Chains A and B, each alone.
Chain A
Amino acid sequence: SQQGEEDPQALSIQEGENATMNCSYKTSINNLQWYRQNSGRGLVHLILIRSNEREKHSGRLRVTLDTSKKSSSLLITASRAADTASYFCATVMNSGYSTLTFGKGTMLLVSP
């Protein structure tokens, strides 16, 4: 079963604009990860944020985590056409193994 819900389901923006995607989840977690999927490169890990972290940056990516609201956001700044892809959040729970529980994803379209 899916752990989380991404919002919005689809997002269409112009190159240079910022894109924000949100993710909500249901259970307590060890960490939350964001992945990108496109037909060319498959599913690729973008960034991991631990449950005791509130914000993390990697290049043009900024991720926030609010464990009290069980939500996370991914911000892509200065978007490029090459950012066009589906973006998934995935959680790892404290108990059990490092199995990823994915949301349904946000489809991002960046137009030149």
Chain B
Amino acid sequence: GAGVSQSPRYKVAKRGQDVALRCDPISGHVSLFWYQQALGQGPEFLTYFQNEAQLDKSGLPSDRFFAERPEGSVSTLKIQRTQQEDSAVYLCASSFTTGTSYEQYFGPGTRLTVT
């Protein structure tokens, strides 16, 4: 079975451009998470979906960041007016259910470079 996929794998954006990052979770997984990983750091939580409902967006760094999962499967993370500090790897993860004792399956990430 396919794992979590993300596209594009690499994205270069000029400062001020908008970008959209896609995540295809494992089929049937209820929970979907977005994380941001800066160079040399561990991933940091951005937002969480349970099916189509965005239940936690406390990690989004600014109102330039927006995420959606309209049909409870594919999710898109959109960053408006990108800034250099947005350069990072954006990781998507999914989990079978909503419980706390389940592992998360991560995609390969999208490396965003803002020039």
Contacts and interface: CB of A to CB of B under 8 A. Distances in A.
Interface of A: 1-2, 30-31, 33, 35, 42-45, 48, 50, 88, 90, 92, 94, 96-105
Contacts of A31: 100-101
29 contacts: A1-B44, A2-B44, A42-B91, A42-B108, A42-B109, A43-B93, A45-B103, A48-B103, A50-B101, A88-B43, A90-B42, A92-B100, A94-B100, A96-B56, A98-B100, A98-B101, A98-B104, A99-B45, A99-B48, A100-B43, A100-B45, A100-B93, A100-B104, A101-B45, A102-B35, A102-B42, A102-B43, A104-B40, A105-B42
Contacts of B56: 96-97, 99
Which 8 pairs between the two chains have the least Cβ-Cβ distance? Answer: A102-B42, A45-B103, A43-B106, A98-B100, A30-B100, A42-B108, A92-B100, A99-B45
Interface of B: 31, 33, 35, 40-45, 48, 50, 55-56, 91, 93, 95, 98-109
A93 B45 CA distance: 13
A42 B106 contact: yes
Contact of A98 (B35, B43, B99): B99
B31 A98 contact: yes
B101 A30 contact: yes
Nearest to B3: A42
Given A2-B42, A97-B48, A105-B42, A44 B106 contact: yes
B105 A45 contact: yes
A44 B45 CA distance: 16
B103 A104 contact: no
B51 to A, nearest CB: 13
Contacts of A48: 101, 103
Contacts of A43: 43, 91, 93, 106, 109
